[in-house]
Amino acid sequence: MNVLDLIIETLQEHEKHLDRLTERLQSLIEALSTKVEKEKPTKPSAPLGKIRPEPPQIGFSLPAVECARWNDFKERSKEAKVVTFEIDDRGLIVSYAHAGVVYKYIIEITPSSEKLRRWLSENLSVPEEKIVEGRIT
């Protein structure tokens, strides 16, 4: 009986915690939707389909550091929770966020995604499953 009481009590605590989180999430959604409504332009400035949509901002952005030396970037990446990479006209852009700062390094090469993921994993000491093709926004 004591074990059952403990399980019930734990479930009730989790339910209260989830209720608080749900309330906070709902208030954030309301605040964001109000902000988005206020910032909507009355008429589009460019024809649809000709502009690249940017992700919505939540009112702040992280400072970004573009490292000039690979070793600086590599040394700071050891605490990264996720590493992203993308390939564009400048080459390969590798990024990660740590302690409120986005670190970037641009390499003027265009390797395949799989080889690159493996190479980044080995060089940054980050498991391959934590390396994502894309960008931090």
The stretch 39-61 carries a mean pLDDT of 52
User: Is pLDDT at 52 greater than 80 in this prediction?
Assistant: no
- Cα-Cα-Cα-Cα torsion 120, 123, 128, 130, nearest 10 degrees, comes to -80
User: What are the domain boundaries of the chain?
Assistant: 1-47, 64-133
Please check whether residue 94 is in contact with residue 85, taking contact to mean a CB–CB distance below 8 angstroms: yes
Pairwise pLDDT comparison (2 vs 104), residue with the higher score: 104
Contacts of 128 (CB under 8 A, 6+ apart): 117, 118, 121
Pairwise pLDDT comparison (68 vs 111), residue with the higher score: 68
User: Is pLDDT at 130 greater than 80 in this prediction?
Assistant: yes
Predicted structure pTM score: 0.43
Domain 64-133 belongs to what architecture?
2-Layer Sandwich (3.30)
Structure token pair of residue 90: 């400048």
